[in-house]
Homo-oligomer: A and B are copies of this chain.
Amino acid sequence: MMFWVRAIRGCELGVRRLSAVVVNYPPRMLIGCLGGGQLGRMLALAALPLDVRLRVYDPDPSACAGHCAEHVRGEWSDEAVLTRFCAGLDACTFEFENVPAGTLEFVAARVPTFPGPMSLTTGQDRANEKVAFTQVGFDVPPYVLVENAADLAKAITTVGVPGVLKARRGGYDGKGQAVIRDAAMAQQAWESIGSRPAVYEAFVPFARELSIIACRGRDGAIVHYPIAENVHKDGILHVSFGNGSVEAGVATQARERITALLNRLQHVGVLAIEMFEVRTAEGVKLIPNEMAPRVHNTGHWTIEGSVTSQFENHMRAVAGLPLGTTAMAAGATRAAMVNLIGAVPPSVQIARTLLQLEGAHLHLYGKEPRQGRKVGHVTWVGDERVCDRARKIAQQWPPC
């Protein structure tokens, strides 16, 4: 990569005096991304206007980020292909936290890789997450680590019911989880999550599901997005409302804790924490559920709803560029996003109708429709009314 370095003297650009500022914006940066699904695709779309290009690595020949990024196809363990992938990259990132740790290590040894291994290993394992959450001041629900069926029986005695058994690794979109309402359900729950190392935790009687997303630059600067309110359906995110109304003190606390987590992990890029809002006699509390060391589905509304989207800020962070403001887009106070979950027959058939809905921003991912698969999303930006509009659509999705 060519860094043009130049001293600019005596020029004023807007209110900012540029005298003797060294400007080293690197045009034509090439950033790698492990994984080429819809998150990689939206990262590529956000990067291009910064003159930053993405090269994705994905074993799947139909990886949808390949429509707007160079796609290197290889198995996660194929060092020859990974070496070719790394050649010429200025930096590397990933779009999902289940990249094998060995793959990330291999790449990180060759190319500056953000977020780093600490973020990945924390985000890959629920046990590590809980420790990290506790270290930055969050309360977590009572939990016990479970290695086998006997452990689970003991855990149920310790923690009580109802509780949730969650596989420590590899879960997403509600997969690898089982609610246990009765000790007699233990064996069935253990088998349903694949008899894998897990945590058994007390069920959190939450009022709302919230998430906070923040981004940390290579220089340590941190920006926070407004908190989102989320609704899941069958374990999959269904609707997110951007800029949710949250008690001021609680929101500040969430910002402080995600800041502490970002710094502790020396994280570079976007990080999201999903939280339960719990209302007790003592007041409102946010209990973290899980973290994602990457751009997050509950931040998709930021593409139109924020001045700088989570995707653009992640790319700015990884590329070592200054982060952009996370303020709501001019005049907007609310944003709402509905996930399009690919039913059979494929729900993208309905997209033509979505295009006709006033003010809807359609985002299709170019993926083959499949039961339970996220194939796109729709965003509205404006005021409180956009939330009603999204709720109405979400109720009827998939439509038949």
Across-interface contacts of A25 in B (CB, < 8 A) = 348-353, 355
Residues of A within 8 A of B (CB): 4, 6, 8-16, 18, 21, 23-25, 27-28, 41, 44-45, 48-51, 53, 67-69, 304, 307, 316, 321-322, 324-325, 327, 329-333, 345-346, 348-359, 361-366, 376, 381-383, 386, 389, 392-393, 396, 399-400
Closest to A324 in B: B355
Question: What chain B residues lie within 8 Å of A24 (beta carbons)?
Answer: 349, 352
| Complex Cα–Cα for A27 and B369 (A) | 11
Identical subunits present: 2
In the assembled complex, how far is the CB of residue A122 from the closest CB belonging to chain B, in whole angstroms?
A: 29
B400 and A8 form a contact (CB under 8 A): yes
Interface centre among A307, A316, A325, A361 (most CB of B within 10 A): A307
Given contact pairs A8-B400, A44-B68, A331-B331, enumerate 12 new A-B contacts (beta carbons under 8 Å).
A4-B349, A11-B399, A11-B400, A13-B396, A14-B393, A16-B356, A23-B349, A23-B352, A27-B364, A49-B362, A49-B363, A51-B351
Task: Verify B353–A321 contact, CB threshold 8 A.
Answer: no
Q: How far is the CA of A334 from the CA of B307 in the complex (A)?
A: 15
**Nearest chain B residue, comparing its CB with the CB of A48:** B68
The 9 closest A-B CB pairs, nearest first, are: A331-B331, A25-B352, A330-B382, A51-B364, A11-B399, A25-B351, A68-B68, A49-B363, A330-B332
Residues of chain B with a CB closer than 8 A to A348's CB: 25, 27, 51
Shortest CB distance A324–B (Å): 7
- CA gap between A350 and B144 in the complex, in Å: 54
Closest CB in chain B relative to A24 CB, distance in Å: 7
A8, A44, A362 — most chain B CB neighbours (10 Å) = A362
